[in-house]
Amino acid sequence: MNRKNQKSELIASLVSTIWFVILLFPFLVMKVNVTGGKAVVIFRWSYLPVIAISIFVLSFLWRRALEWNQHRGDKTPVRTPLSGIRDFIITALRRKPIKLGVMALLLLIVLAYPYVLGMYHTNIMITALIYVMLALGLNIVVGLGGLLNLGYAAFFAVGAYTYGLLWKYAGPAFISAGIDTGWLFWIALPSAGVIAVIFGILLSLPVLRLRGDYLAIITLAFGEMFRMVLQNSGPVTGGATGISLIPRPWLFGIRLPPRQAATYIYYIAIILVIFTIFVVRRIEDSRVGRALEAMREDEVACEAMGVDLVRNKMATFALGAFWAGIAGVLLAAQTTYINPDSFTLWESIMVLMAIVIGGTGSIPGAIGGALILKLLPEYFRPLAQYRMLIYGIAMIIIIIFKPDGLIPRNRKRYTFVEKSASDSVPGVQK
């Protein structure tokens, strides 16, 4: 960097410092206190130098980072020891025995998790796994189908309330008949999936004609209305207080103490997540999946190719809703308590953030995004009240520097591979 550049850098940082100091002055330095009906303003002058210096440094770093981000793609990659290691790992992973070994190791870590880290971390992980399922489900709707759904939490609520209401109304009958109430979970799990699918199809009917942001706002409206109905139909759903003392699933009729129950739910969640990943991957490669992708890219062209848009949109909502329903049952079983406040618009937004941060449409992205979004705030807890602020800042930094997400979707490309000199066979390359 030459002298002139340095000087202009300095001036730019100074200008943004002055701008931000003026911008933040009334909020950071001044503070209103209302005592006895009269507003009193106190000044916190000691904050001023701290703000000024930190903004100066941050604005310098921010511009450097933006510049670096812009030129990132320009240069040919420089071979550093680190990139050598990365290449080595990537080539090693392509080989089957090593791949299997890594998978086995991963499985071992996942299985040993509750025993090594204890109940607190297991419970956090269960919540994160529930989010992974939600993200994978929403990923079908938003990532594959391209339909922005902001009312996804409603399906989550459908699942949780299926289990909750089943417990509330069928539980006493089970107890008086002498049947283990632990079975309720296993009844609720498939029925929540089915009921959520029915809700998904019902929701898709009125919104078939809508596109883009209109779809987003109408799903938001449905989601919020569903929550309000739950909140205001007290006699049936318990209203704002919700349903409590929902039984945890029991293992073959044995009532587990909370610690083992958490481990058990953790394993159920792991199995369900693996099942979800398996199914979602199969969907992506199936006829329906390809039709959904075509629909996302261009509805008119897609229809012209003979894809039934109505059926596909319904399928998208139904598939997405299914996983939310299952995740809802898990949530009810883990927390043993549900109320409408767990299914607000923020919940839908969080799941959407998970898939966009991870990389829209990418399965590893959805998993990673959900884990980051759910685990980070938990481990930010020492930062107490600053945690949501830092969380928001982190979101913006990730999205600005990685607009396609952390693990962007690798689109399938079909290329011709020369098999021999005489004939060329089309091959698939991932």
For other proteins, which stretch binds (CB under 8 A), given 7-15, 175-183, 292-300, 415-423?
292-300
| Residues 150/191, Cβ–Cβ less than 8 Å | no
* N- to C-terminal Cα separation, the chain: 42
Q: Does 64 bind other proteins (CB under 8 A)?
A: no
Residues 229-288 that bind other proteins (CB under 8 A): 232
Question: Are 352 and 395 contacting, i.e. CB atoms less than 8 angstroms apart?
Answer: no
Q: Which of 428, 427, 399 is CA-nearest to residue 411?
A: 428
Binding mask 177-216 for other proteins (x = CB under 8 A): -----------------------------x--xxx-xx-x
User: Long-range contacts for 16-25 (Cβ within 8 Å, ≥24 apart)?
Assistant: 16/55, 16/59, 17/52, 17/55, 17/56, 17/59, 20/51, 20/55, 20/59, 21/48, 21/51, 21/52, 21/55, 24/51
On the 0-12 / 13-18 / 19+ scale of CB atoms within 10 A, 48 is: middle
Nearest distance in Å: CB 277, other proteins: 22
326 is written with which tokens? 């299952």
* The one segment of 7-15, 224-232, 253-261, 311-319 that binds other proteins by CB under 8 A: 224-232
Backbone φ and ψ for 250, nearest 5 degrees, come out as: -110, 150
Q: Is 89 exposed, middle or buried (0-12, 13-18, 19+ CB in 10 A)?
A: exposed
| Size, binding site for other proteins by CB under 8 A | 59
Query: Could you give the angle at which helices 258-285 and 287-297 cross, rounded to 10 degrees?
Result: 70
Question: Containing H/E element for 12?
Answer: helix 3-28
Q: Does 314 bind other proteins (CB under 8 A)?
A: no
| Least CB distance to other proteins at residue 212 (A) | 9
Asked if 300 interacts with other proteins (CB under 8 A), we say yes
If the CB atoms of residues 163 and 199 are measured against other proteins, the closer one turns out to be 199
Contact residues for 81 (Cβ-Cβ < 8 A; gap 6+): none
Q: What are phi and psi of 311, to 5 degrees?
A: -65, -40
Which CB sits closer to other proteins, 106 or 205?
A: 205
* Comparison of 190 and 206: residue with beta carbon closer to other proteins: 206
Element (H, E) at 356: helix 345-358
For the CB of residue 62, give the shortest distance to other proteins in the complex, in Å: 8
CB of 321 to other proteins, least distance (A): 18
Cα angle, residue 87 at apex, residues 81 and 90 outer, rounded to 5°: 145
User: What is the nearest approach in angstroms of other proteins to the Cβ of residue 395?
Assistant: 4
CB of 401 to other proteins, least distance (A): 9
378 near other proteins, judged by CB under 8 A: no
Task: Find the binder of other proteins among 297, 298, 308, 418 (CB under 8 A).
Answer: 298
Task: For other proteins, give the closer residue by CB, 189 or 220.
Answer: 220
Candidate ranges 152-160, 179-187, 278-286, 380-388; the one touching other proteins (CB under 8 A): 380-388
Minimal distance in Å, beta carbon 304 to other proteins?
A: 8
The stretch near other proteins (CB under 8 A) out of 158-166, 176-184, 305-313, 399-407 is 399-407
- Name which position in 118, 190, 392, 427 contacts other proteins (CB under 8 A): 392
Axis crossing angle, helix 96-138 with helix 363-379, rounded to the nearest 10: 70
Which residues 71-90 are close enough to bind other proteins by CB under 8 A?
A: none
Stretch that binds other proteins, among 85-93, 109-117, 182-190, 383-391 (CB under 8 A): 383-391
How far, in whole angstroms, is CA 352 from its chain's centroid?
6
- Identify the residue among 9, 180, 378, 404 touching other proteins (CB under 8 A): 404
Binding of residue 147 to other proteins (CB under 8 A):
no
DSSP string, 121-143: HHHHHHHHHHHHHHHHHHIIIII
Q: Does 321 bind other proteins (CB under 8 A)?
A: no
- Considering only residues 1, 4, 5, 32, which one is a binding residue for other proteins as defined by CB under 8 A? 32
C-alpha 362: how far from chain center: 12
User: Binding residues for other proteins, per CB under 8 A?
Assistant: 19-20, 22-23, 26-28, 30-32, 34, 37, 39-41, 66, 142, 148, 206, 209-211, 213-214, 216-218, 220-222, 224-225, 228, 232, 298-301, 304, 345, 349, 352-353, 356-357, 360, 385-386, 388-389, 391-393, 395-396, 399-400, 403-404
